[in-house]
């Protein structure tokens, strides 16, 4: 038997499975999806068996044998193996990367070189002393002890062998369980107890209230309030038994409110749910775009749709943009489905992630909720996949394999013939365009679930504030609104928009942002050269000393931090209690949940933060939302800047007035007439969609074109540019004339880690040659260019093009 193995050597120029012989003794246990160890060149490496066959086309003498089996049951199902193949092709990635991304880190075999002793009697004394009674040590330990040369000598003589160790870092956690016998046995034990053993008698009395049960020792000690030695004496007397069992690490479940009861659906919700249920019963793949305004009850629709598929014995995956940012959402799913839910989030340790993965793998849970990579949850009978806030760019992985969770979800749904729900108040333009074409089925929720009005929005022109002498970060209107809420004991959310921080130049008098004369896109500020550049056409100019429009000298980079905002807030409203949420205050485990929890409990009046507070909050007392710098995300040199700004403003506005109290939003901006800001006043998606689509058509951007970016980087700036030109011509010669290649131009961050970066952009409508040509380019790169220190990356549909 021959196994096809993808080896874990990404740097190797050949990206395909290699044939290895399966030793006869292992033929019965060998299956696709198991990990093995194989000889590869001089080393032994780990790999994944992706297929089995009876014969190889290769000469039998050339075929080496598998030396070790790492798993006795496959870690990847046939479905996931097929998915990895498709993903590697579709995203132009290495197959090994596509395989690895599907497993929790703890399952990606970790390598460490070790030295194993073969003939201990031939070692000299000092070396033997160093080893003590160890039969093997890591090379690192040898290196630290300065014994590498000796080890090498021994290795050449065959006295020791050097190997690549594959370690399972993650340990399975065990807890001590106490098993309490029936009441009879307890009574007998009680009658025999020595009269002086008061504590033991006390524990026995407690145990008699819990006969014939098992519980964790720590829990028992806690509840019965006796000391561990008392418990031990009863174990020693064999009154009770103890054992150690494997457990899953307990997650810090965010303790936030959820009734756990399904709501009576509104008419719109019911229509949407019925459509999804019907599709699910037909067992066909169908993708729904659930477009519902903020607070319209999309989550409730998800919950009931999941309930429907669970009743059929199927499973569901729910993706959220960044799980640690949505503890409320998780709480709702746990409230509804309890133990059937596995949560996969980035805040978990790798051990915790591994536990959750195992619970899914073993079929112990039915719903997985998590960020992007949860789309690979190892279910085998999927009935529904959901992407909440489907427009979020975090669904696209920006390192290899550069997949989009939406595409993977739809692929898996095809495999299982089940529905996908893409939900958003502000769908990605691409998604809405597909829905209007009938590729996706559009479902719409136009009203808030509790019939509340959307908050009223006021846009404040910060240029006017400056003219009247207000140099603070807070407009008069916002300051007044905040005082009002403080007096009424209502809550406030303040968003400091940090996207695009400092990357563009703005005139504080007239609001002008310096743009490219050719491209209708703002120029990016390059600190190193004090210049402004266009990353689309290569245009470049010096940073102006005065505004090109009004000649004011108040022209500068735009941006400010949350810490500064907090200080100013303190000066303005010293009595206000403020919770600040940004990268600095949320970098410890559980901090995010704790801060939100405190805010929910009313321990603060104001929640001040960056983008991370824009989504998912559902607190009834929030009645005011203030946006401090709506512009910053508008002038990033990215054709999606307007879309992202509109999405952010709509999202954050949606936090206000979700319960009984009406909401109000104040948006501060230097550019009140920009359509993305103007249109966020009404929070209506369609007018924005139409305007933005028009603009994209005129400029030839997605969704009218597909795009792919090929980036070249090198330590030597001339070589980077040279290869970029070579690569660009390589593609130009092979792609259809209808495809447009722009560049090469320098990348936005033109030097990163001392590597110079150039890139070119391919725009196309229909290009059957795209994947083959990109694959040829990659192969050419790996066989010819990589040796010269070039790095090449290919990114289809990047989330941003700078």
**The 3-state secondary structure of 33-68, one letter per residue:** CCEEEEEECCEEEEEEEEEEECCCCCCHHHCCECCE
Which of the ranges 53-61, 295-303, 352-360, 515-523 carries the binding residues for ligand ADP, by CB under 6 A? 295-303
Q: Which stretch binds Zn ion (CB under 5 A): 127-135, 179-187, 201-209, 511-519?
A: 511-519
CA-to-CA distance for 58 and 740, rounded, in angstroms? 42
Q: Using CB distances below 5 to 8 A depending on partner kind, what does residue 263 bind out of ligand ADP, Zn ion, none?
A: ligand ADP
Q: Are strands 286-292 and 441-445 parallel, antiparallel or unpaired?
A: parallel
Q: Is 730 in the site for Zn ion (CB under 5 A)?
A: no
Instruction: Rule CB under 5 A: choose which of 31, 163, 540, 549 binds Zn ion.
Output: 549
Q: Could you say which of ligand ADP, Zn ion, none residue 510 binds, taking C-beta under 5 to 8 angstroms by partner kind?
A: Zn ion
For ligand ADP, the binding residue among 300, 352, 390, 605 (CB under 6 A) is 300
- Least separation, in Å, of the C-beta of 731 and ligand ADP? 43
Residue 462 lies near Zn ion (rule: CB under 5 A): no
Nearer to Zn ion, 480 or 551 (CB): 551
- CA-wise closest residue to 562 among 609, 624, 614: 609
CA–CA dist 602, 596 (Å, integer): 10
Question: Taking CB under 6 A as the rule, which mask of x and - marks residues 204-243 in contact with ligand ADP?
Answer: ----------------------------------------
Binding segment for Zn ion among 48-56, 318-326, 502-510, 612-620 (CB under 5 A)? 502-510
Look up tokens 């066989």; give the residue. Answer: 783
- Give alpha helix (H) positions in 391-475: 405-416, 429-436, 462-467
Long-range contacts of 121-124 (CB under 8 A, 24+ apart): 122/154, 122/157, 122/159, 123/154, 123/159, 124/150
- What angle is formed at CA 33 by the lines to CA 27 and CA 34, rounded to 5 degrees? 60
Considering beta carbons, is residue 403 or 802 the nearer one to Zn ion?
Answer: 802
Binding window for ligand ADP (CB under 6 A); candidates: 259-267, 335-343, 410-418, 542-550 = 259-267
Does the protein bind ligand ADP through residue 296 (CB under 6 A)? yes
Options 236-244, 258-266, 407-415, 703-711: segment touching ligand ADP (CB under 6 A): 258-266
Rg value, the chain, Cα: 31
Question: Terminal CA-to-CA distance of the chain, rounded, Å?
Answer: 51
Q: Say which residues have a Cβ less than 8 Å from residue 276's Cβ, sequence separation at least 6.
A: 288, 301, 305, 308, 384, 419, 421, 443
Question: In the range 670-699, which residues lie near ligand ADP by CB under 6 A?
Answer: none
**Cα gap 427→441, rounded to integer Å:** 13
The binder of 196, among Zn ion, ligand ADP, none, by C-beta within 5 to 8 A per type, is none
555 close to 506: Cβ distance less than 8 angstroms = yes
- H or E stretch including 356? helix 350-361
Mapping DSSP onto H, E and C, the string for 511-565 reads CCECECCCCCCECEEECCCCEEECCCCCCEEECCCCCCCCCCCCEEECCCCHHHH
Window of 144-152, 288-296, 349-357, 490-498 that interacts with ligand ADP by CB under 6 A: 288-296
Query: Pick from 265, 591, 693, 699: which binds ligand ADP (CB under 6 A)?
Result: 265
Q: Find, among 319, 287, 548, 230, the residue nearest to 417 by Cα.
A: 287
| Chosen residue from 61, 238, 264, 753 binding ligand ADP by CB under 6 A | 264
The contact pattern for ligand ADP, residues 608-637, with x = CB under 6 A and - = no contact, is: ----------x-------------------
As a whole number of angstroms, the distance between CA 561 and CA 350 comes to: 32
Q: Which is nearer to ligand ADP, 295 or 626 (CB)?
A: 295
Q: Which CB, 293 or 494, lies closer to ligand ADP?
A: 293
x/- binding map, residues 765-784, to Zn ion, per CB under 5 A? --------------------
CA neighbours closer than 13 Å in the CB half-sphere of residue 727: 37
Q: Which residues bind ligand ADP (CB under 6 A)?
A: 263-266, 269, 292, 294-300, 449-450, 618, 658
Q: Which residues bind Zn ion (CB under 5 A)?
A: 507, 509-510, 512, 516, 518-519, 534, 536-537, 539, 547, 549-550, 552
């Amino acid at each position: 038997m021959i196994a096809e193995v993808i080896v874990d050597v990404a740097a190797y120029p050949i990206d395909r499975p290699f044939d290895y012989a399966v030793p006869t003794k292992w033929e019965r246990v060998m299956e696709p999806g198991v990990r093995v160890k194989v000889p590869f060149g001089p080393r032994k490496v780990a790999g994944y068996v992706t297929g089995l066959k009876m014969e190889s086309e290769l000469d039998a003498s050339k075929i080496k044998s598998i030396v070790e089996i790492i798993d006795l049951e496959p870690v990847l199902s046939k479905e996931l193996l097929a998915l990895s193949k498709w993903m590697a092709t579709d995203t132009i990635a290495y197959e090994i990367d596509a395989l690895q991304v599907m497993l929790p880190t703890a399952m990606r075999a970790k390598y460490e070189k070790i030295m194993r002793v073969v003939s201990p009697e031939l070692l000299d004394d000092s070396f033997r002393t160093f080893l003590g009674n160890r039969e093997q040590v890591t090379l690192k330990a040898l290196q630290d002890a300065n014994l590498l040369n000796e080890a090498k000598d021994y290795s050449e003589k065959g006295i020791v062998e050097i190997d690549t160790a594959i370690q399972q870092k993650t340990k399975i956690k065990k807890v001590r369980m106490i098993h309490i016998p029936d009441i009879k046995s307890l009574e007998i034990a009680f009658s025999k107890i020595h009269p002086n053993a008061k504590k033991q008698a006390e524990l026995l009395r407690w145990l008699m209230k819990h006969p014939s049960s098992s519980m964790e020792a720590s829990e028992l000690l806690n509840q019965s309030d006796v000391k561990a030695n008392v418990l031990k004496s009863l174990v020693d007397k064999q009154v009770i038994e103890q054992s150690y069992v494997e457990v899953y690490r307990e997650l810090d479940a965010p303790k936030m409110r959820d009734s756990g009861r399904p709501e009576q659906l509104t008419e719109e919700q019911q229509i949407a749910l019925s459509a999804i249920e019907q599709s699910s019963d037909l067992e066909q793949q169908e993708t729904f775009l659930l477009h519902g305004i903020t607070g319209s009850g999309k989550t409730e629709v998800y919950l009931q749709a999941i309930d429907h598929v669970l009743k059929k014995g199927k499973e569901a995956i729910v993706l959220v943009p960044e799980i640690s940012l949505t503890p409320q959402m998780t709480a709702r799913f746990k409230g509804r489905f309890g133990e059937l839910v596995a949560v996969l989030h980035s805040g978990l340790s790798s051990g915790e992630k591994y536990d959750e993965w195992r619970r899914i793998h073993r079929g112990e849970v039915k719903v997985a909720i998590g960020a992007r990579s949860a789309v690979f949850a190892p279910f085998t009978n999927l009935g529904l996949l959901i992407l909440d806030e489907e427009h979020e760019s975090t669904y696209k992985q920006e390192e290899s394999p550069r997949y989009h969770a939406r595409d993977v979800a739809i692929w898996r749904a095809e495999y299982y013939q089940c529905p996908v729900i893409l939900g958003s108040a502000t769908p990605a333009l691409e998604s809405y365009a597909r829905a209007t074409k009938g590729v996706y089925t559009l479902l719409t929720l136009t009203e808030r679930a509790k019939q509340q009005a959307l908050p009223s929005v006021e846009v404040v022109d910060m240029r006017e504030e400056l003219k009247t002498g207000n140099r603070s970060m807070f407009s008069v209107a916002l300051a007044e609104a905040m005082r009002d809420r403080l007096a009424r004991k209502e809550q406030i959310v303040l968003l400091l928009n940090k996207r695009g921080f400092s990357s563009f130049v703005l005139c504080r008098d007239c609001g002008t942002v310096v743009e490219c004369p050719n491209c209708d896109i703002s120029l990016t500020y390059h600190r190193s050269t004090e210049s402004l550049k266009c990353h689309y056409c290569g245009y470049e100019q010096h940073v102006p000393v005065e505004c090109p429009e009004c000649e004011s000298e108040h022209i500068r980079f735009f941006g400010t931090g949350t810490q500064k905002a907090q200080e100013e807030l303190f000066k303005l409203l010293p009595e206000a209690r403020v919770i600040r949420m940004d990268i600095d205050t949320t970098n410890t485990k559980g901090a995010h949940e704790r801060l939100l929890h405190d805010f929910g409990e009313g321990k603060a009046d104001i929640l001040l933060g960056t983008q991370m507070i824009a989504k998912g909050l559902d607190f009834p007392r929030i009645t005011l939302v203030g946006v401090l710098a709506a512009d910053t995300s508008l002038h990033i040199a990215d054709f999606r800047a307007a879309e992202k700004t509109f999405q952010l403003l709509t999202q954050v506005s949606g936090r206000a007035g979700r319960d009984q109290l009406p909401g109000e939003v104040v948006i501060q901006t230097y550019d009140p007439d920009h359509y993305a800001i103007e249109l966020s006043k009404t929070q209506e998606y369609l007018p924005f969609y139409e305007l933005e689509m028009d603009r994209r058509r005129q400029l030839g951007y997605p969704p009218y074109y597909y795009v792919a970016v090929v980036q070249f980087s090198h330590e030597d700036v001339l070589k980077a540019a040279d290869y970029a030109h070579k690569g660009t011509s390589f593609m130009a010669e092979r792609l259809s004339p209808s495809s447009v290649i722009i560049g090469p131009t320098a990348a936005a961050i033109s030097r990163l880690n001392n590597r110079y970066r150039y890139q070119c952009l391919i725009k196309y409508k229909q290009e059957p040659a795209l994947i083959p040509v990109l694959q040829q380019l990659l192969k050419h790169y790996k066989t010819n260019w990589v040796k010269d220190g070039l790095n090449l990356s290919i990114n289809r549909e990047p989330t941003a093009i700078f």
